[in-house]
Amino acid sequence: MNKKVYMVAGYNTVSMGTGRSEFNPKKPRPGLEHYIQEAGKATLKKIGGAKNVDESVIGNFMAARFNNQGHLAAMIPSIDPGLQYKPSIRVEGACASGGLALISGIKSVLAGTADVVLAVGVEVQNTVKAMYGADHLALAGWQKNRKKGHAYFFPGEFSDRAKAYYEKYGEEYTRKGLATWYKNAIENARLCPTAQEFENKNTDLMATGMTQPNGHIFVDSLNVFDCSKVSDGASAIAIVSEEGLKRIGIKKSEAIEVVGFGQVEENLLDDPISQTELTTTKVAVEKALNMAGISRDKLATVETHDCFTIAGILATEALGFAKPGKGAAFVTEGNTSRSGIIPFNTTGGLIGWGHPTGATGVHQAVTLWEQLTGKAGMAQIDIPKEKPYGLSVNMGGNDKTLVAVVYKKVE
């Protein structure tokens, strides 16, 4: 990194969808523009207004299908008149679109084209029936495989990963790990008012998580609780240089420093190299940690892309916290809980907080900004002085586009 880069002034809208008491699929709901404007305005308010912004970037996956709306870069000026005639771009990398928005902002600051970048991620998906939504989301994979896959395409893709893990390491053993991941996600979401599962009152989360998969009604090796929900929402954060921090009048102690990142792609046309490994995730995380110059034992917390519980289990192995086949045990033993040795997804992750696809990568950054600056409210965990780092891992498709970012608490 040729200069210091910071993130500050994060904001998440509510992750809206089933599970929220205010959600009613039969009543009109806020549109794409509402979420973009809510998140954008909130961040602008914290950084002294649109006058301080040099550039903007918006991450979104599938507004053209879910909302019949393309050209989202030109929606940025709707946030504030002060953004009129300033540069803005839209980036897309399936469910890693938010992470790509972060990378774009980071690179603008490193290149010197901007000192303050407004990064927004957004997705509004509760606009179509589930089966049509499955078709839209299937475009995060190779479209020629669509007819060969399950009706619920991506649940089917990760069901295949779960099945391979069952066959290699044992089904009952694996299901306990998946159920524990689900339990942790809901418990963490209950501590975050914007989480989709904030109001979840289930008194036996393990029993729910252990629900036997039924391929006749869903997919063969995952149950519906193993899956992230359909979500509407947006997140925003400012990406700034040292000069940018001075311009917006915010102290370094209120920001987090970006100290490393990895952004990599695997060929979309190829099947996974291994069904029981997230090989692209592993490469992206290694790049990010190497750039940061730290080992994983310096991380205080991780926000990982648990679109499905099996993705969470596999992430513990790809990140090097557990050896191959030991991820399920690592989770079952409590190591990834909020009181464990490496807390994962402290506001619920995709399973608990929600998964508005284009917003997820930005939401991860906002969560880590809150944790590392002590702004996480009820969801706050302890950040040990000897572990001042956090890591976000945002995945697009079936381990195809990966964005990993390492952040540091600023003293």
**Per residue in 26-85, pLDDT tens?**
999 999 999 999 999 999 999 999 999 999 999 999 999 999 999 999 999 999 999 999
User: Angle 171-189/153-169 helices, nearest 10 degrees?
Assistant: 130
> Is 90 exceeded by the pLDDT of residue 233?
yes
Q: Domain ranges for the chain, please list them.
A: 5-129+230-253
Distance CA 296, CA 286 (A): 9
Q: How many CB atoms lie within 10 A of CB 389?
A: 26
∠ Cα 295 296 302 (to 5°)? 145
Q: Which fold has domain 5-129+230-253?
A: Peroxisomal Thiolase; Chain A, domain 1 (3.40.47)
Q: How many CB atoms lie within 10 A of CB 366?
A: 28
Distance CA 186, CA 195 (A): 9
| Token digits of residue 169 | 């390491």
Within 13 Å of residue 247, how many CA atoms lie on the same side as its CB? 19
Give 272's DSSP letter.
Answer: P
* One-letter amino acid for residue 121 of the chain: G
* Residue written as token pair 């557990």: 322
Give 121's DSSP letter.
Answer: E
> Is 90 exceeded by the pLDDT of residue 235?
yes
Q: Mapping DSSP to helix (H, G, I), strand (E, B) and coil, where does residue 306 land?
A: coil
Q: The dihedral of CA 225, 283, 402, 134: what is its sign?
A: negative
pLDDT of residue 151: 83
Tens digit of pLDDT for each residue in 300-359? 999 999 999 999 999 999 999 999 999 999 999 999 999 999 999 999 999 999 999 999
| Token digits of residue 201 | 């009152």
Residue 382 exposed, middle or buried by CB count within 10 Å (0-12, 13-18, 19+): exposed
Tens digit of pLDDT for each residue in 284-313? 999 999 999 999 999 999 999 999 999 999
Q: Mapping DSSP to helix (H, G, I), strand (E, B) and coil, where does residue 401 land?
A: strand
pTM of the model: 0.98
DSSP-H helix ranges across 144-250: 153-169, 171-189, 205-209, 242-248
| Token digits of residue 228 | 């992230």
Distance CA 14, CA 18 (A): 12
Say if residues 72 and 378 touch (Cβ distance below 8 Å): no
